[in-house]
Structure 1
Amino acid sequence: MKWRFDFMANKRNKVKFGLSNVHWAKITQWGADADGTPTVPVYGESMRLPGAVSLSIDANGENENFYADDSVYYVINNNSGYEGDLEVALVTTEFATEILGEILDNNGVLVEKNTAEPSQFALMFEFSGDKHKIRHVLYCCTASRPATEGQTKEDSTEVKTETLTLTASALPTGLVKAKTCEATDESTYNNWYKMPYNPDTTAKTTTTKASS
């Protein structure tokens, strides 16, 4: 037990910085209950989105106070997910076609139509820390089309990036986001980018030896 404690303590971060290992997994279909109501998503293959520059997402939804007996009687929690921007060097062809709805024609040209339907996806990424990298997943995201911009080359070259505006909402099960911490087991951590993490929230049970 002492070794387990020391191992976890060695992964406890004091600070975070950087951004890397951005991956996405398209929601290919939804599972449904007996009434046909969507329940859990089915994800496709996890794909890397290289060239991550920055990620800035803000929490949506504010708590509301319900007053009674001349005091705050109950606090209503409104978790409406997140909104923000993901800046990358260039959006990949796979992301453009699978998520943004662009078409790769028979001549290898990306075509954008006004009828394009963007797809929902999970977004996975990590921040570096002073002890261990913190890995995250947003379970249900949509992305807007990036702007198209550039400028003439001068004495120095300024790299123009592309920015995706993200909206991360809750799944029908209520799941919004998950991240690793010092208590995350090694297998879960190492397999984080293979598939969006499926939480195990079942109650832990312990067994005791029967007295003889």
Structure 2
Amino acid sequence: MEKNKVKFGLNKVHWAKILSYQEDGTPNYGEVKRLPGAVNLSIDASGDNEPFYADDCVYYMCNNNSGYEGDLEIALVTTEFATEILGQILDSKGVLVETNDAETAEFALFFEFSGDKNKIRHVFYRCSVSRPGTESATIEDSKEVKTETLSLTASALENGLVKSKSCESTDDTIYKNWYNSVYIPSLSTTTTTTSTTKSTS
């Protein structure tokens, strides 16, 4: 794929519930499902660099990656997301019920940004959200759509994974099947990109 110069937009928000964890901490994910009506995603990196001083200088820099925190704004929380992730109950009469002891579930979060060349696809491996507030208003001269905002926290898995995203070198099959299942990389086979310069005399 060609390399993007810019990014914009937000689309294809999906989620996959974490059903359980294996002994090594690897999650067992459920089916990947769509969360339609994405409006805005604003998340900030959490964690600071802390210097360790020795020999009258910064001897070592500790990088504390605490994941991400922010907000996901959508048109309306779906019933499926409310029951499976927010812990609400759909009773026998089809009424959605919230109780004070409801437990939220963790999940993987997928989304994509558009680029000038290709769409950039993301996945956060371990997310949790708080329940959204309730808001609306009377109709006046025109209708104003009221959205719902989920406070989002993305944490690291036990093996250290926080998130992955596609780029110009992403395998075509992986890219096309991004929303079919949660992509888990093999950390033992990852590579880094370096640039080299040649000097001439």
What displacement does 1:201 show?
Answer: 3.2
Where 2:131 maps in the other structure, the secondary structure is coil
3-state SS in 1 of match to 2:18: strand
CA shift, 1:202, in A, is 3.5
Q: Which amino acid is 2:122 matched to?
A: H
Partner of 1:188: 174
Aligned to 1:26: 17
Where 2:26 maps in the other structure, the secondary structure is: strand
- Aligned-partner SS, 2:87: coil
Distance 1:15 1:80 in 2: 27
2:52 matches 1:66? yes
- Residue 112 of structure 2: aligned partner: 126
Deviation at 1:203, TM superposition (A): 3.6
Residue of structure 2 in register with 1:210 after alignment: none
What letter matches 1:14 in structure 2? Answer: K
Aligned to 1:177: 163
> What residue ranges of structure 1 are gaps of 5+ in the alignment?
1-7, 34-38, 205-212
Moved runs in structure 1, 4+ residues, more than 3 A?
201-204
Q: From 146, 157, 162, give the equivalent of 2:143.
A: 157
How much does 1:54 deviate? 0.4
- Number of residue pairs the alignment of both structures matches: 190
Partners of 1:103 and 1:202 in 2: CA distance: 42
Q: Pick from 28, 40, 47: which aligns with 1:54?
A: 40
What are structure 2's unaligned runs of at least 5 residues?
191-201
Letter in 2 for 1:160: K
- Helix, strand or coil at the partner of 2:80: helix
CA distance in 1, matches of 2:47, 2:21: 25
1:107 maps to which residue?
Answer: 93
- SS for the counterpart of 1:158 is coil
Residue of structure 2 in register with 1:15 after alignment: 6
Q: Percent identity?
A: 68
Aligned partners of 1:203 and 1:148: how far apart in 2? 46
Take 1:179 and 1:152, find their aligned partners in 2: how far apart are those partners?
Answer: 41
Q: How much has 1:156 moved relative to structure 2? A: 1.1
Question: What secondary structure sits across from 1:183 in the alignment?
Answer: coil
1:95 shift after superposition: 0.3
Aligned to 2:195: none
Q: TM-score with structure 1 length normalisation?
A: 0.88
Instruction: For 2:74 and 2:32, locate their aligned partners in 1 and report how far apart those are by CA, in whole Å.
Output: 18
